[in-house]
Amino acid sequence: MSDSTTPAVEAAPSDVMVVGDLMVDVVAVHKDPLNPGSDTPARVRLNGGGSAANTASWLAALGERPRLLAATGDDDLGARARNELAAAGVDVVGPTLADEATGTCVVLVGPDGERTMLPDRGANDRLPVSAVIESLDPLPGWVHLSGYALLGEGSRNAGKAAISAALAAGCTVSVDAASAAPLKSVGASAFLDWIEGADIVFANDAEIEALGGVAAVLGKVASVAVKHGSAGATWTDGVDSAVADGLPVDLADSTGAGDAFAAGWIAARRAGDEVEAALNAAVAAGATAVTRQGARPATA
């Protein structure tokens, strides 16, 4: 368990800036196994998505005033996405890019609630470095980066710039590891170099494995929170540790659970919670997310 002397993060008067991807999800929920080469009945709907946009939405639902630095295309989907986020209390500060489509992701949700994603990053992969500098005025209290910004070659420089600028300005910096397969593609060493100096990394078991294990991650960042799905989560800074048990819930859709987890941690720490309480808040937020269809709170 965590040392009771571990200091809480003082609540910051400024907001949280979330950097990364904004997507429109085309979600297909199928109750029966897929029939390759044939038809499988499904319920299909259009939802807001993108790891960074989801985290920003959950932060707003938890009482924060988040900014979202993400790029959209100059199209109807982009306008819809921005309007939905604004209605949810998220200030989208990223650019609208001409001649580019808003990112879209096909999400297949199986009978067990697990999801398979087929993303087209679109405008997300053209997030310019100049937008990072502009978005940091006024300076946020916390910068959270979705790893997808680093895993996408076109947005990588902007993601790296966001971390560097935030660390130089003294902001608290958190990073979500995003997804195991692209982590393996770019390589653990490269990714860890890009996020060096961050205060915390959020990752699930597969992502931690792809990064070479907790010890390897702690060689570059201050602390790690590992998500174990229904089994809860663990946190360590290499000296102290904390454990949060999972919560019994009826799984409807696991999409966005990790994004909610990150938001739960950030909001709790900014409110002054100790590590163990923040970890429990993160698990509770993730558990809430899986009980409903879609990646965002009901108000988003």
How does pLDDT run across 179-202, given as a tens digit for each residue? 999 999 999 999 999 999 999 999
Q: How far is 170 from 159, CA to CA, in rounded Å?
A: 17
> Quick check: 188 and 158 in contact, CB under 8 A?
no
Q: How far is CA 96 from CA 2, 22, 53, 70, 244, in A?
A: 44, 12, 15, 9, 40
- CA 52 vs. chain centroid, Å, equals 5
Classify residue 196: in a domain, yes or no: yes
Classify residue 59: in a domain, yes or no: yes
CATH number at residue 264: 3.40.1190.20
DSSP category for residue 11: P
Classify residue 227: in a domain, yes or no: yes
Classify residue 230: in a domain, yes or no: yes
Three-state helix/strand/coil letters over 216-245: HHHCCCCCEEEECHHHCEEEECCCCEEEEC
Structural domain total, the chain? 1
Q: Which pLDDT belongs to residue 9?
A: 42
Is 259 catalytic? The answer is yes
Classify residue 246: in a domain, yes or no: yes
| pLDDT tens by residue, 55-90 | 999 999 999 999 999 999 999 999 999 999 999 999
Classify residue 269: in a domain, yes or no: yes
Classify residue 250: in a domain, yes or no: yes
SS3 state of residue 178: coil
Q: How far is 217 from 188, CA to CA, in rounded Å?
A: 9
> Quick check: 284 and 245 in contact, CB under 8 A?
no
Task: Provide the residue range defining the domain that includes 177.
Answer: 16-22+49-103+121-290
Q: Which pLDDT belongs to residue 289?
A: 86
Q: What is the dihedral of CA 277, 278, 280, 283, to 10 degrees?
A: 180
Q: Which pLDDT belongs to residue 113?
A: 73
SS3 state of residue 25: strand
Q: Which pLDDT belongs to residue 5?
A: 37
Q: Which pLDDT belongs to residue 253?
A: 67
Q: How far is CA 67 from CA 169, 217, 262, in A?
A: 17, 27, 15
Classify residue 7: in a domain, yes or no: no
Q: Are strands 103-109 and 115-120 parallel, antiparallel or unpaired?
A: antiparallel
- Among 21, 176, 237, 259, the active-site one is 259
Q: Which residues of the chain register pLDDT less than 50?
A: 1-13, 300
Q: Are strands 200-204 and 224-227 parallel, antiparallel or unpaired?
A: parallel
Q: How far is 143 from 156, CA to CA, in rounded Å?
A: 16
Q: How far is 240 from 235, CA to CA, in rounded Å?
A: 8
Q: Which pLDDT belongs to residue 251?
A: 75
